[in-house]
Amino acid sequence: MSYDFLIEKAKEAREKAYVKYSNFKVGAALLGKSGKIYTGCNIENASYGATICAERTAFTKAISEGEKEFEAIAIVSSSDDITYPCGICRQFMSEFGLDLKLIFTDGHKIVTYKLSDLLPYAFTEFEAIKEV
């Protein structure tokens, strides 16, 4: 299956990024099981800790609209390299399934992974319960 349409939506989202401090734009397009696409961009903050990544922006939009099952997410940045999600985003996304397909491009090649490939030892609900 081609996910070119998701990459294009991620590129559109990237242009809306608020990157006053780093000038590093990231866009994401998340495909829900319903077929609906939710986009997100990174939004920086002077405190840095309050910055939110494009991936979590897309997820929070989807979840706040009732979508909780996802098929794929495309992630693009203003870099000439493929930009992978940060650790916080990987863990955040794992809450909704380690089989999520992640699609990346550097503008020339497209690579895909399952989230479990990028987060092989995710902290899960089972782990949280086991600790109690």
**95 assigned to active site:** no
For every residue of the chain, DSSP letters joined together read ---HHHHHHHHHHHTT-B-TTT---EEEEEEETTS-EEEEE-B--TTSTT-B-HHHHHHHHHHHTT---EEEEEEEESSSS--PPPHHHHHHHHTT-TT-EEEEE-SS-EEEEEHHHH-TT---HHHHHHH-
* Catalytic site residue from 15, 44, 55, 71: 55
**Which residues are the active-site residues?**
55
